[in-house]
Chains A and B, each alone.
Chain A
């Protein structure tokens, strides 16, 4: 089993930072930001494909977390809790007309590819798995990002996205088909 440590660490130091931040210690919260910003930004960037939107959503996520930290009871890890806030922020942004222009470049029908997201990535990068993910329609991309990249189970990803587990599995199947078609011979390498 592959296990990657929570970026905040699992020791008392991380828990202490969360506790201090929940009591209003902005310095502790900045430390939490430094530990988690890369992962939150990565999640937002991969879900949106748009660096500026990902920056805004990362900031929104941490502001929302600061506001809500006093009520955080540690029933899930701080990272998971933060990721849930980030996913909600992305989904809310997508619902807005502004978000549809800036963030979700594809409809969810699966017929239209996500050219905006593709161009937002590094153009010098060959058609690798990162760019293939970025080119997926939003529904398929979400599940590949949460399940494939960040390792959440289908149940966790479905809960985060507010969809049925079966929908997640169907979207993953569709994503794999689209990625294989896009990557051609690279896909099975």
Chain B
């Protein structure tokens, strides 16, 4: 591991007088108080990551792509015009009930706020009301897709723990959150049509 010398301040002196003055501002501003005691008190609480990185990024990427794919397919399935009824429908397994719906649990590195999770939970409540109107096979698909999203969230959160500076990972995790909301929203907003469709 080596620390490199990096340039601070513009690589080339800016021509714009305003930017030139901005570049002359002091880079360091000392905090008004010593923040170290508060940091030190929290170090023991924070689990440290091990060095066995390497596989996490690909897994996180794969998980993100999987979420995008299944969510898009499921949303398409919910929104497309209903095909002609199949001659026979054989139930392969009991249709899930609203109690089988487990919203995605996001880890400590997600950066999602309590308000964002509360907004999601409010949507979940509406979603549960519409859930029983769905066809059994659709309900099965939704439960499976939520499991895929959970796996993706787990992988991305683990990767974020190792690389907290990654905007891409944070974007992927927020993308998973948005996909989850879109799934619920698609069901809630199409609820009336779903009942007529079956």
List residues of chain A with CB under 8 Å of any chain B CB.
Answer: 1-10, 14-15, 18-19, 22, 24, 26, 29-30, 33-34, 37-39, 41-42, 45-46, 51, 54-55, 58-59, 62-74, 76-81, 84-85, 88, 92, 95-99, 129-130, 132-133, 144, 147-151, 153, 159-162, 176, 179-180, 183, 187-189
B14 CB-CB contact with A under 8 Å: yes
Residues of B participating in the A interface, judged by any CB pair closer than 8 Å: 1-14, 16-19, 21-23, 25-33, 35-36, 38-40, 42-43, 46-51, 53, 111, 113-116, 161-167, 170-171
Chain B residue with Cβ nearest A95: B113
B43 touching A176, Cβ below 8 Å: no
Question: How many contacts between A and B, using CB within 8 angstroms?
Answer: 208
Say whether B23 contacts A41, CB under 8 Å. Answer: no
Given A68-B49, A96-B113: A3 touches B36 (CB 8 Å cut-off)? no
A84 in contact with B165 given A58-B31, A58-B35, A59-B42 (CB within 8 Å): yes
Smallest Cβ distance from B10 to chain A, in angstroms?
5
- Chain A nearest CB, measured from B11 CB (Å): 6
Whether B22 pairs with A144 at a CB distance below 8 angstroms is yes
Between-chain CB contacts (< 8 Å), 16 pairs? A2-B7, A2-B10, A2-B13, A3-B8, A39-B27, A62-B35, A64-B46, A66-B43, A67-B164, A69-B48, A70-B50, A77-B5, A88-B164, A92-B111, A129-B21, A149-B27
